Each structure stands twice: as structure tokens, then as C-alpha cells.
Amino acid sequence: MNPDALPTASSPRRSLLRTLFPALSLIAVAGTGVLGGLLVTIPAGTTPEVERFVDTDEYRLWRVLIGALLATTVASVVLTVALLRRLKTRYPSARLLPVVVLLAVVSVFVSILSLVSGLHLSAIKIPGALGPRVFAVTVVVVAALFPAVAVIWVVRARVQFLAVSDDSPSVAEANQRLIELRDLRSALNTVLIVLSIAISLTVVVTGQLRNALVKSGPAGADAPVAYVLLYGAVIAALLGALYLPVYLTWQQCGARLIDALYPIDRTDDLGQPVLPDGEWETNRKRLSDLLTLGATGIGQFKTAFATLAPFLTSLLAYFLPTSA
């Protein structure tokens, strides 16, 4: 035996699964994208209305975007299921039933919003065979985002407990708390990016469906672009309502921990008040930087969306009507 060899905890079976997992995940993502495009494929020639609809380039592009949306949501499942399992194992008391109810309500709400708001205006109608399929896609997307939303819910349960717990930790407890808060913050960042991408793609898909309906509808029929932008704003607001309270509570936990370790109100050995000094300020800043408490919740939202800024800018230009 090589004396320099280090032991590992992976069995041959586990090593094989880890080796094959990326390839299997890629196959699942690509397969879902293809199936997504096939799901919204409707036969031409049923009625003149359907014939005009399926014969447009806008419809063909919409099918491709549906496949991309479903593939992205499957990829999000791959990224977030393991994270949810780890957090749920660590915090088993967090209940996920409210997440199921929440997503069921959102699924119905988004489906109604996407099928009614702006898509049934004027003489534009969704071909009869397509409506149920759009609803099915919506349900699949919302279900695939369950792990990401559930992660936020589990983090919410934990930080709410920490926010009301006793903040007089020992040094060892403080170290563990710092590690835990950083881990919870990392989980929030991961799922926020996942949900932001899914929301952006959902708005793109909705806008492209509008374009296909307008293109195939009677002359002069139109659905105002504002409805699509409003649709995206409503979904983004739902994400903000879910994420921001959790993040702000997490931030409160981090600030309370720093105040417990380096309180502002201090006394010396004789019990006399002591003003903050350089060492005190340095230590507080070091912990604040370690927890990244310098940015606000809105700032973190901007950070997450900054990576999508070029895409969102082109998205806005894509929806703006062009002059003849």
C-alpha cells in the first residue's frame, strides 16, 4: 500500500454514480427540452385559425423557448434538490406543506394571468388545443421550482428561530453560528439566481406567445405589450415577497450575533463605560465582512439581477413596439 495515499469515503458504486451523474443530468435536461417543444406542437389544418397560428415563425420560436424553459427548470431541480435534502436533514422541524399550498395557488394564478391578461384581447384567441397544454407547461414549471422555493422556506424557519433565540453565545457557539449563517446565505443566493432565471424565461415565453397570437390574428388585432411586462412584474413581486423577508431576518440574526460578540455598550474592569476603539471597530467590521452584512436586501436583489442585466435589457427592447 502506498504510504502517501489518503483514504476516501467513496465506495465504488458511489464513485460510479458521481461519474455518471453529470451525463445523466445533461440527458435529462436535453430530453425535457425536446419533450417540451413536442408538448406544445399542435397539428396544422384543424381550422384556418390554427393553420395561420402554426405557420408563423413566432410560433416555431415559441416552441423552442418552451423547450428551453422546461430544460432550465429541470436543471434547477438538479441544482437544488441536493441542497434542499441537506437543509431538511439539518432542520427536520421545518414544514413544507405551506410551500405545496403556495405553489398550487401560484400555479393557478399564473396560468389564469397568462391566458387571460392580454392574450385574449381583441380578436386574438389561443387555439383550443393549446390552452390545456400551456396550463400543463405552467404546472410543470411551478412543480420543478418546488425545491428552490422550499429551500427559502427552510431557511426562513431557521432564521426566525435564531432571531428570537438567546444571543449570549460562547466562542465555540459563535464560530458555529457564523458558519451556519454563511451557509444559509449561500443557499439563499443559489435559489435566488435559479428563480430569477426561471422568471425571466417565463416572461420571454409569454411575450413570444403574444407575438405568435398577434401575428396569426386578424389584421389590426393586438395585445398591449404592457400586459406582458405587468405579468413579469407581478411574478417578480411574488419572488420579492418570498425572498426579502427571509433575507432581512437573516441579516438581523447576523447583526445580533455581532452585537453579542462586540457590543456597543461596553464597560471596563471597573464597570465604567468605554467608548468604541480601533480594535473593537476592526473586529466588528471583520465579522460584518465575513457575513457580507454591508449590503442591504435590495442591494442583494440588484446583485442577483445584475448578472441578467444584458438579457433583461434586450428583453425590454424585444417587447417594446417598433415604429413602422
If one counts every other C-beta atom within 10 angstroms of the C-beta of residue 58, the result is 16
Angle (nearest 5°) at CA 127 between 122 and 131:
100
Residue position matching grid coordinates 483514504: 7
Angstrom CA distances, 148 to 1, 98, 152, 194, stand at 45, 14, 7, 7
Instruction: Give 200's contacts (C-beta < 8 A, 6+ positions apart).
Output: 232, 308, 311, 312, 315
Q: What confidence score (pLDDT) does residue 316 get?
A: 64
DSSP assignment of 247-300:
HHHHHHHHHHHHHHHS-SSEE-TTS-EE---HHHHHHHHHHHHHTTTTS-HHHH
CB 247 within 8 A of CB 300: yes
- Assess contact for 201 and 88: CB atoms under 8 A: no
Rounded Cα distance between 80 and 214, Å, is 37
Other beta carbons within 10 angstroms of residue 185's beta carbon come to: 20
Each residue's pLDDT tens digit, 75-123: 888 889 989 999 999 999 888 888 888 877 777 776 666 555 544 444 4
* For range 122-139, the mean pLDDT: 69
All three cell numbers of 183? 451557509
| Average pLDDT value over all residues in the chain | 74
Each residue's pLDDT tens digit, 166-197: 667 777 888 888 889 999 999 988 888 888 88
Query: Residues 210-248: pLDDT tens digits?
Result: 788 777 766 555 666 666 667 777 777 778 888 888 988
What pLDDT, on the 0 to 100 scale, is given for residue 239? 80
Least confident of 141-155, 249-263, 277-291: 277-291
Would you state the pLDDT for residue 122? 41
- Contact (CB, 8 A) for 70 and 142: no
Task: Name, in order, each residue with C-beta under 8 angstroms of 2's C-beta and a sequence gap of 6 or more.
Answer: none
